[in-house]
Amino acid sequence: MPTPTKGPRLGGGPAHERLMLANLAASLFEHKRITTTETKAKRLRPYAERLITFAKRGDLASRRRVLGVISNKSIVHELFTDIAEAVEKRDGGYTRITKIGNRKGDNAPMAVIELVLEPVSPKQAVVAEAQSAAEQSAKPAKVVETEEAAVEASEDAPKYAGSHAVLEDVNEAPEGFDIKGNEDSMKYHVAGSRWYDQTVAEVWFATAEDAKAAGFEPAGGEDAQAEGEEEEAAK
């Protein structure tokens, strides 16, 4: 016989254990509280809370899942209507276990397990919301300042080594930077070359070596750009 993963098995076998837990859950949902041993109460707690979670979903598939465990339709109806509605705003902790001492005779530790049907305290909900809002409002201030500083630093820093960002007039060359770079084609154009005037500058470079180091290639090849440099020098 396989050994259960959590503690000793209740009853003689796995089927007997399932029936015991189903009967205990049905009694708990019917009477809202039952007295049993600590061991059974601790094993019943996750079992019953899982059924309550199905009841909170309220769909037909969940109702069929619960009916496969608890055959009493009146108890299932009460679970899906009264109990599910009472714990609707709770995120968990639908049951409570209270130890009541040992049983006379066999000295077994006893406990009372009951449903927690009290409404969630509005004061606790407001306090929790206020704390979370205060934490969120205090945190982002530093984050925003850091992000703004990072953006300013990135705007001031050149995108490539030896480059300069475009000015308001995109075709106006910054002082010392007269080589146009086009990021769509990843080509650079030397002043005086064939397509220099038709090219829209997206970044300016000081030298052709800086453009090559940034991954840009000469438009039309090295010879075309070299001719542009010669023509510009002749002027």
Same domain, 118 and 22: yes
Same domain, 35 and 84: yes
- Is residue 209 situated within a structural domain? yes
pLDDT, one tens digit per residue, over 66-113 is: 999 999 999 999 999 999 999 988 888 899 999 999 999 899 999 999
Q: Which amino acid is at 40?
A: K
Same domain, 94 and 32: yes
- Is residue 187 situated within a structural domain? yes
Which value, in Å, is the radius of gyration of the alpha carbons in the chain?
38
Domain residues for the domain of 224 are 163-234
Q: Let me know: does 52 contact 87? Beta carbons within 8 Å.
A: yes
pTM, full prediction: 0.51
Last residue of a domain, one of 122, 147, 181: 122
- We report the CATH number of the domain holding residue 35 as 3.90.1030.10
CA distance 191 to 155: 26
pLDDT over 70 percentage in the chain: 77
pLDDT, one tens digit per residue, over 172-189 is: 778 888 888 888 778 887
In the DSSP assignment, the letter for residue 126 is H
Phi, psi dihedral angles at 219 (to 5 degrees)? -70, 125
The pLDDT of residue 144:
46
> With the CA atoms of 134, 137, 140 and 142 taken in that order, what torsion angle do they form, in degrees rounded to the nearest 10?
-80
- Is residue 3 situated within a structural domain? no
| Total of domains in the chain | 2
**C-beta atoms surrounding 35 within 10 Å:** 14
Last residue of a domain, one of 70, 105, 122: 122
- Is residue 189 situated within a structural domain? yes
Q: Report the mean per-residue pLDDT for the chain.
A: 81
Average pLDDT over residues 193-213: 81
- Is residue 51 situated within a structural domain? yes
CA distance 49 to 75: 15
Phi, psi dihedral angles at 87 (to 5 degrees)? -105, 20
Same domain, 53 and 117: yes
Same domain, 180 and 107: no
